[in-house]
Amino acid sequence: MDGGEKVSLEQMRAFLESSQEVGFQGKGRREIYAFVNQVLRQQDYTTLKKASKGLVKSYLGKIIGMSRAQMTRLIGDYQQGKEVQPRPYQRRKFVFRYTPSDIELLAQTDEAHETLSGPATQKILHREFHNFRNIKYERLSQISVAHLYRLRKSRTYRNRLATYQSTRPTPIAIGERRRPEPQGRPGYLRVDTVHQGDLEGVKGLYHINAVDEVTQWQVVGATPYISEAWLLPVLQSMLEQFSFYIRGFHSDNGSEFINHTVANLLNKLLVEQTKSRPC
């Protein structure tokens, strides 16, 4: 903005009357505030009458695109002898009640007690100070359960406390993990797959061996692949070759048998499916 020469009050009034339907918007906070300072000094604003002050305020608001409340704040600073300038942004900060040493102490307590629940840990912190007179726990003894969980999420806490959890096997809800119990009855099959090996880069066959646990009746099938599309017809043909009713189907944890396609086939035949232990 360039204020140029001094503008009289009459010129301001004429400008406002001729630009009622025109809007203006200032760019650059420093230029806007410098322009406000310049106009207020040129008009000697503090010596003007009330009507003239309102005219200058309306003129400035029109030029720089500020509301009447914003202009009142800026002019108020000028009347107090202050330079009209942008106010630096100050982020509001909350007072920290618990220090990093308190968070580390909480981590030590959780490590010693294997990270109990919030209410249980709160009770431990309270007893450390009130029962055992441990001064280090004075601030933590008053902590709420909600804030205790917030401190556990802080970076200081996570850097101090290192917890390790062993890998958990993924549960598969296909087949029951137990040994078959034929109780002297035929029809409980143990099924396994054996790959005969490759020869000169040619993939070998997969042999499927099904043995009845009581009668030792054995049926062997072969398939070039153990995918569902190849395995299922062979498996159906093998089950049809047994001369007695099939009651159980036991296998290892291989995906060729532990899948929904085989499970649906066995459910359709009312055959219970069991599987061995991991590894």
**Given a cut of 80, is residue 58 above it in pLDDT?**
yes
Same domain, 156 and 181: no
- pLDDT score at 135: 94
- pLDDT score at 61: 84
CATH number for the domain that contains residue 212:
3.30.420.10
Kindly report which listed range (54-58, 90-94, 131-135) carries the lowest average pLDDT score: 90-94
Q: How many domains does the chain have?
A: 3
**Given a cut of 60, is residue 272 above it in pLDDT?**
yes
* Confidence at 5, pLDDT banded by 50, 70, 90: low
**Given a cut of 90, is residue 85 above it in pLDDT?**
no
Question: Does 19 map to a domain?
Answer: yes
Question: Does 87 map to a domain?
Answer: no
What are 210-267's pLDDT values in tens digits? 999 999 999 999 999 888 888 889 999 999 999 899 999 999 988 888 888 889 999 9
Smallest CA-to-CA distance from 251 within 265, 159, 16, 72 is with 265
Sequence-separated contacts (24+) of 54-63 with Cβ below 8 Å: 55/9, 55/12, 55/13, 55/16, 56/9, 56/12, 58/16, 59/7, 59/12, 59/15, 59/16, 60/36, 62/15, 62/16, 62/19, 62/24, 63/1, 63/24, 63/26, 63/35
What are 133-162's pLDDT values in tens digits? 999 999 999 999 999 999 999 999 998 886
Domain containing 59 equals: 9-79
- pLDDT score at 119: 95
pTM over 0.75: no
